[in-house]
Structure 1
């Protein structure tokens, strides 16, 4: 992994248009979104250092690589589970370099610093990848007519 930095999104609002486009391209058809504008508004809601939802970006030298977020809820119908690692995305050209894992670690560290003991996530197809990062499948789940899994990770709080 290059000299990648993980920063709060609020420190780098210039990345919001690119993030919105990436997330729209990746999940927009599932969510029924017509333009990246809804993603822009959602990302703006993640511009915080303290109050959830909080987003982070991976970047270096003005180049955006990816994002991840810590959210109160991330899956409709499972409000009983909280908080969530969500919105994990790495641009296709930057995958397989440890950036996604670094973003997940940043979110886990932020959760741990808030005395959070368990995190949840939902994935359609990255169960094996998350398993390698210490996540465990909790239950299958359907999201917008797509089958995936809810996963969890117990965090050791110092």
Structure 2
């Protein structure tokens, strides 16, 4: 398995766009996610999209974004749009994708990461700390998490 920036394998951009739209696009046009994917393919800039592949098979994706929640623009950067293909689930790939983004963000000099999720308990297993609730437009309550890149902890607790 290989995790790399999407710009290194742009042939997967359409599939990543479709995954993000299907997984996170409730009421949001596909063009919104296409724009994110297009703008995440500039080396050295945020947003950045990573993909996991095995040979030519796309397994999953995750992003490192400046902001993933319009109501919390004070927090930066964000781990965003984590998605693992159904056929690749249950093999620890979600954790590996998180670790990849964490290492990349630490290498860029960031001291912490943030994310939001509608579910509880999943991210805590990977060392994320619940910091309160937030509001996703227009009126959806979501859970906010912080991951300290300075902490030595952070692996899965399973």
TM (norm. structure 2) is 0.89
Is 1:47 matched with 2:44?
no
- The aligned residue for residue 23 of structure 1 is 20
How many angstroms apart in 1 are the aligned matches of 2:62 and 2:16? 11
How many angstroms apart in 2 are the aligned matches of 1:107 and 1:48? 16
Give the drift of 1:119: 0.7
The RMSD of aligned alpha carbons is 1.6
- The aligned residue for residue 134 of structure 1 is 127
Secondary structure of the 1:106 match is helix
How many angstroms apart in 2 are the aligned matches of 1:53 and 1:42? 8
How many angstroms apart in 2 are the aligned matches of 1:53 and 1:156? 22
Written as runs of structure 1 = structure 2, the 5 A alignment for 1:1-158 is: 4-29=1-26, 32-34=27-29, 36-125=30-119, 127-144=120-137, 145-156=139-150
How many angstroms apart in 2 are the aligned matches of 1:103 and 1:78? 23
Contact preservation (8 Å) 2:62, 2:79: yes
How many angstroms apart in 2 are the aligned matches of 1:10 and 1:61? 16
How many angstroms apart in 2 are the aligned matches of 1:49 and 1:132? 31
Describe the superposition over 1:10-60 as per-residue Cα deviations: whole angstroms up to 9, x where unpaired.
01111111111111111112xx224x3332221011113311111100011
TM (norm. structure 1) is 0.89
Contact preservation (8 Å) 1:117, 1:157: no
How many angstroms apart in 2 are the aligned matches of 1:14 and 1:22? 14
How many angstroms apart in 2 are the aligned matches of 1:147 and 1:38? 21
Secondary structure of the 1:151 match is strand
Describe the superposition over 1:78-102 as per-residue Cα deviations: whole angstroms up to 9, x where unpaired.
1111111111111122111111111
- Alignment length (residue pairs): 151
Structure 1 stretches lacking a partner, 5+ long: none
Secondary structure of the 1:128 match is coil
